[in-house]
Structure 1
Amino acid sequence: KQNLLYFSECDTNSKNAQIIFEPSISKTNDSSIRIRTYNNEQSSTSVYRRELSNKSSSSSQTISHTLPIESSKLSSNRIKKGILSRPLPTPESMSDDKNIYRLIIQDGVTKDQTEIFLQFRQFYCFIWGNIVKIFRMLEKLMFNYFVPIALINGEKVAELAQFIEIERKPTLEELLSTIINRDEVEKLIKETGRRFRGKNGKERAAIIIQSCWRGFHARYVYKYLKKQRWAAYVIASAWLKYSKLSKIRQKLKSVHHRQLEFFKNSQNELRQKWSHISSHRRTVVHIPSLGLTESIRRTLTNLPLKENYQIGRLCELVDPNIDVIYVSPMPVNDEILQYYNRLVSLRALVEQGSEQLTFSTSNNANERFVIIVPESLHKFPGHNMCLATILKYSPKALKQIKTMIKDRSAYLVTGISHIDDLYISEYLDIPIYGCEPESSYLYSTKSGSKRIFKSSNVPMPFGEYDIYNQKRLLESLAHLILEHLDVQRWIFKIDDHFDGQGIAYCDIAIYLPCYKDMLKEAEKFADKWSNSTVQ
């Protein structure tokens, strides 16, 4: 082989054995022929070589040897004494020279036949596989960007080779850190269009253009499909939500319809048996609930206290045939319970005119009432629920009431009717002594009471009701003022408010500028003023 020394050892048993080294005398016509000795396996993926313009032709090599050979002991002694003209360098001899591993990559090809490269290969033979991978990457980088020459720091390459793994490839920054003339190389790499110069530059440019277009098209298709998938998910989730809500609404309607049927049937039965029930022993379940709308309940403060105003229902104990179960919207301690016991016995004390109360005179009233506090009383502090709803979510209290009224005549007395009263009535299997919740909402308003009084021919003060917009309000107020000029203050009430809220008034003599003019006109027309056309 070119530029290499060969020696042969023959017949080591001969006493006259001699070893003679002669350089190869072969010549090559083309100096560009090179053999890569640091990598025997050729790779088409990571090593890039420049094509040779001309085919090389090599002459025959002749090596002459003298065959007489001394014994093996003699030859080994001569090698140790330095008879070999070119001994290979050892790591100890290279450790002091810090610039010895200055390697070269020219036109994307490593100068691997230099003495420094051979020394570098021998010194790092144990990690040579990783070093070869790094040199392949450096060659590819220099070849792609048409870098004419790059000086490589062998020690940094070896240091980098010790840390790379099979799964992880070195980054561009790590590869550039092994280059001595990094500034020049990095400047060429960052130069616009540099990678498309030289041979196969147009092909690489076409590949990049195609990859960019394919990437753009793939991203566009992905975004479109992602948008369609998102739209399908939204539609599907909305439909599932709608279908589930529809089923729940349908189920709630059927439950409500069943409860209404039970309410009507139980009320008819109560109406038919009332004469018998009212004259015999019975149990009355009092739920002093204010079943107002949620918007009104949220404006009220101390709703349980307002519901407990109906504690006077305990006075029904004056009838010895009545047992009372009172559901309290507030906690009851021993002192309050003792107070109520004393209160229900007060009537007997007054009738007897005695300060001493006996069992016979009180009709045992303090044993005929029970106060039950729902266990869910404080579990919904921010919702301002009415007592009927709280009792609905108190299963222990409901079971206790159901046990107490078992096999006894009983009925339920509510406050302002609520839809949850129907559930309690159905659960306890007792009728409600009251009206249907929808009817209660309709006639418990101020306009509803006006309608009831009007249908009953009850005298009422003049006014208007069932006003639901501003135009109707202004027209009604103007008509009332013109008909009743002697009234100087008009009161306004919101239809469904409770506990004195939603009430306002206006003094028209002060705030209506045309009031005095209307009085003058009324005096002018006298009796004709009552005619609407004159007004």
Structure 2
Amino acid sequence: MFPFTIVKGQIDPMAKDFICFKEKFSWCWSNVVEVLDDLTKLLREFAVPLAKVDGEYLIELLRESDYCWRKTLPKATLFSLLENKGEVLELVSRPGQRYRGEGGRDVAATRIQTWWRRYLTRTSYLCYHRRKMAAELISLSYLFHYQKCQVKKTLQAKRFRQLINYRRRAEHRKQNWKHIRSSKRTIIHIPSLGFSQSWRLSTRKYDILQNIQITRLCDIRDENVEVIYICPMHLGEDILQYYDNFLRRNGADSSTNQDLPCNKRFLILTPEAVDHFPLYETLAELIAQNIHIQRWLFKINVQRGGRDAAYCDVCHLGCYSWALQRYQYFGSDLWHSTWVQETVMMKYLEEIPEWLIYYTILAKSSRFQSWSEFLKIFLRQGGVVEAYPPSENVTYVTVDMLLEPNGEVTILSWGDQLHGCCHLDIVGSIIPKTSVHLETLHSICMRVAHACKQNYIIGYVSVGLATFVDHSTMKQKQIWGIDLDIGFSDHLAMTQMLLMATGGTLNWRTGCFEVPVKEKCSEQEGAAKRLVDSRYAVVGIRLFHSNLSMLYHSIFLNICKWNCIEFNKKSGLGGSPGSSGDLCSEFVSHSSGNIVL
């Protein structure tokens, strides 16, 4: 109803359709004229050639809207008044159509200037922003570099002062060491193993493992020594009384100085908060370089006594026989060339992962159930890949030394290691050693001590050696150095207890363990005659008795007391009244919870 047309943005006032529309709605023509002016202006701006207006819809829109208040309509509403809205919108949406209509050149010029000014402004801003960020980065870098240099200088100065102070104290100890050794002194022993937190949390009975070195109390044999022992666990009165009686009865009170009794010369302290604290290119290279080694050991850094170790034999490698043929073909001289070993290493790398998974054997005392668990800890905490001596007859030797500040070296203990059902599990040692010639062992220990002194290492040092039979000569001539521990070792602690209990000495010149004994003489000769006998002893910290866990320590000690089980220092033998033979002296080491024989 009442349609009319607009041609090129102009309304023909003499057109019949427009005259009819005007006569029909003359009562509101003032508002209609304003809408038509807006619509024709919009059509001229977009150069629309022909538009058909729906007059009836225009009047309805004016009735329903608040046009009289706003005096304008949106472009979308104006386009909705057209019957050919689709054609018009398609034309209007063409790119650049606005610039073809009325005032298009001015709009285009304005738009071009707007975008150009925007481009210039943004380019200038981005350049400024880059320079600002670069300046901030340079200033921060320089600030961090300056601070790092200052901290480095401070640390270097502090380290230099500590080093000078350490050398002064070392020189003072060196000059006054004889006086210190001969005067009264106090030893403070903290049995800290220095394990990581994860290892401490995962190790069973870690406090007992630390407390193995409680036998450091035996140092009060020297009448000038007092010992303060920091105990990592609370000890009962029965254990304290046991060690007091043990030290008293084994010569701790035999000194001429009776002003300070035995129980006053040692002190056991327990901190108040003690309970509040809870592979494959390298391996392939090693196997290729040492082709005659049949077995390789894997040891975690913090393992003790052969525990948490594993081994694997190279005979299970499919290409091992082929590698031996290559070795025989090239000979020992050419074998160490890189180009000769490269093909062998590539073969090893293909087989080593599967070889380790299926053929690695864990030590029976290990806390791991599978190779994957062992490998995870091995890679996280670090470890050692060690060659096993190419022999079935291997003996391990432990030597404990004291590197004194004045440069003197004292060998305190030596013995052959005892192994359990697994050759990696160390359960004790035989004192003294018999597997290595005394002069050879002395030469090796002196060279190790010299190397330690060059690196400013003083104090207690434990050296581990392996000796085995050479198959070519069938003589025990090969000696390997396999371990070096800095600190007071468990082996030395047990040796101190052995010397305290027997009153014996280890003679380094003869290599013997000498124990004083008394021999009965005839009545005419009078009293007993004192002699020195050479003995052998077995010491260990992991000898386990299955029934001991069923007894309290106090009950066990009382049983020993009632049966008069003790070590007789006069005869140098252990036993009880009425016994037909000699018995080993039995002691309970509360630190390990095991019987030590």
TM interval, shorter chain, is 0.3 to 0.5
Structure label with greater radius of gyration: 1
TM-score by length of 2: 0.34
More strand by share: 2
TM-score by length of 1: 0.37
